[in-house]
Amino acid sequence: MNLIRRLGLYVHLWYQRAYSLWKVRESHIHFREPLSYNERTFFLAFQAALVGHNIVVYDIGAGTGVFTSCVAKLANVQIVHAFEPLASSFEKLKIRTARFHYVFCHNVALGDTNGLADIWVIEGCHDASSLLKMRELHKAERPGICYADHPERVIVVRLDDYVREKNLPLPDVVKIDPRFAYF
């Protein structure tokens, strides 16, 4: 990559980081601690939904917890429930959120029935893993994506049943990441 292109990319990245910091400060929202760049990106995308007092947030498909840690830092958030079925992502989620006593991590997938299921893990991109098998449209749109050698067996629960069984508070905000949804 030539020097001018590399310099342009550096300036662009610096601008994005500075702009996101400015936009977060402009919001006049109070945080328990500063947000990382990735957390600022999530906050700016979800800012309109995160107003109010004593907010209860459900992060469905929490991955490694970037969004979870972002909302946990908001002063107006009372409780966060993060749902992540993949074992490796769940461990990173627990580590990332361990210092927040009001964040509860649940190692389950959410679905329309209770039981066990195979989740199709995408190599190098666990955030795109799914209980659904990859369809032709997905393969055409993302030709470089391939499954791991074997699916991971996970516990699947109906959210209504789980909330009732665990006596969880009803959410004010629910985040479900649809970026990789192909049907």
Can you name the residues that pair with 115 across neighbouring β-strands? 156
| 96 inside domain | yes
Is 182 within the bounds of a domain? no
Structure tokens at 176: 């479900």
Q: How many domains does the chain have?
A: 1
Range of the domain at 54: 3-176
Please state whether the predicted TM-score (pTM) of the whole model is above 0.95.
Answer: no
Asked, for residue 181, whether it belongs to a domain, the answer is no
DSSP string for the chain: --HHHHHHHHHHHHHHHHHHHHHHHHTT--BSSPPPHHHHHHHHHHGGGG-SSSEEEEEET-TTSHHHHHHHTBTTEEEEEEE---HHHHHHHHHHHTT-TTEEEE--EE-SS-EEEEEBPBTT-GGG-BSSPPPHHHHHH-TT--B-SSPEEEEEE-HHHHHHHHTPPPPSEEEE--TT---
Does the residue 141 lie in any domain?
yes
Q: What is the pLDDT of residues 25-84, one digit of tens each?
A: 888 888 888 888 888 888 888 888 888 899 999 999 998 999 999 999 999 999 999 999
Query: Which of the listed ranges 13-17, 38-42, 44-48, 169-173 does the model predict with the highest average pLDDT?
Result: 169-173
pLDDT score at 140? 75
